[in-house]
């Protein structure tokens, strides 16, 4: 198992796909892909190389990856099941290389699993095109996750604020409008979020 990094370019923005796991028992392919990446938009990506699925699993125990590239077949397995096992858990996107004669048999399973299937031999442009698609999907997935996380955070804050208003109405006899204004004013005066004020109220009255 080895690691290589693409050439740094100060003028380029940092790529989204930072960490790549490449499974291949070919002695030449990792160096070839490394040279291609060094002259592309993925020049700053780090690529960890594993010769088979066993080494790939060892690499996944140490870290997660943004993209997994499998040069099928591998010495200990085809590689498709390895991708299906870990896709979405230990890496986000996957590309599978296979000889053209095997692609018809692998196509349906690859599509169902969300794997980009490329016939061998492939060119630099074909690989970089597939990686660009993977990067776009990676970016979209993370944007959705960020939006979902923010939505959950806001919903949690609203629940705390609503509960705090109920307690102010119950224990201090405020109206809902007064309770809302109280929380809003306290947050403004103390320069904290309304959720912080709400949580303080909950600790005070919610026994």
CB contact at 8 A, 23 and 50: yes
Question: CB under 8 Å to 25, separation ≥6 — which residues?
Answer: 51, 52, 71, 74, 75
Cβ-based neighbours of 37, under 8 Å, separated by 6 or more: 6, 43, 45, 47
The pLDDT value given to residue 90? 78
Q: What span, in angstroms and rounded, lies between the C-alpha atoms of 144 and 101? A: 37
Higher-pLDDT residue of 91, 29 = 29
42-58: average pLDDT: 92
16 pLDDT tier (thresholds 50, 70, 90): confident
Under DSSP, is residue 111 helix (H, G, I), strand (E, B) or coil?
Answer: helix
pLDDT of residue 144: 80
Candidate CATH numbers 3.10.20.740, 3.90.1150.10, 3.60.15.10, 3.40.50.2300; the one for domain 2-122: 3.40.50.2300
Least confident segment among 39-48, 52-61, 83-92, 171-180? 83-92
- Whether the per-residue pLDDT at 207 is higher than 80: the answer is no
Q: Is it the case that residue 25 has pLDDT exceeding 90?
A: yes
Residue whose tokens read 């870990």: 86
Tokens 């296979």 belong to 98
- The domain limits of the chain are 2-122, 147-205
Once rounded to an integer, what is the mean pLDDT over residues 146-172? 92
- Model pLDDT for residues 93-132, shown as the tens digit of each residue: 999 999 988 899 899 999 988 899 999 988 999 999 999 8
- Determine whether domain 147-205 maps to CATH 1.10.10.10: yes
Q: What is the pLDDT of residue 196?
A: 94
Highest mean pLDDT among 38-47, 83-92, 160-169: 160-169
Predicted confidence (pLDDT) at residue 142 exceeds the cutoff of 80: no
DSSP labels for 48-80? EEESSHHHHHHHHHH--EEEEEEESSBTTB-SH
What phi and psi values does residue 151 have, to the nearest 5 degrees? -65, -45
pLDDT, tens digit, for every residue of 184-194? 999 999 999 99
């Amino acid at each position: 198992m080895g690691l290589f990094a693409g050439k740094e370019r100060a003028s380029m923005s940092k790529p989204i796909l930072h960490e790549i796991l490449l499974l291949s028992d070919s002695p030449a392919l990792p160096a070839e892909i490394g040279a291609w990446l060094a002259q592309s938009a993925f020049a700053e990506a780090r690529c960890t190389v594993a010769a088979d699925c066993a080494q790939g699993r060892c690499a996944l125990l140490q870290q997660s990856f943004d993209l997994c590239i499998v040069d099928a077949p591998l010495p200990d397995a085809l590689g498709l099941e390895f991708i299906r096992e870990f896709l979405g858990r230990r890496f986000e996107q996957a590309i599978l290389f296979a000889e053209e004669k095997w692609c018809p048999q692998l196509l349906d399973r690859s599509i169902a699993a969300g794997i980009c299937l490329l016939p061998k031999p492939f060119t630099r442009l074909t690989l970089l095109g597939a990686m660009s698609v993977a990067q776009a999907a990676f970016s979209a997935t993370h944007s959705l996750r960020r939006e979902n996380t923010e939505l959950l955070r806001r919903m949690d804050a609203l629940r705390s604020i609503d509960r705090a208003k109920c307690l102010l109405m119950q224990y201090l006899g405020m109206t809902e409008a007064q309770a809302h204004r109280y929380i809003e004013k306290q947050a403004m005066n103390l320069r904290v979020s309304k959720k912080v004020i709400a949580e303080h109220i909950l600790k005070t009255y919610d026994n």
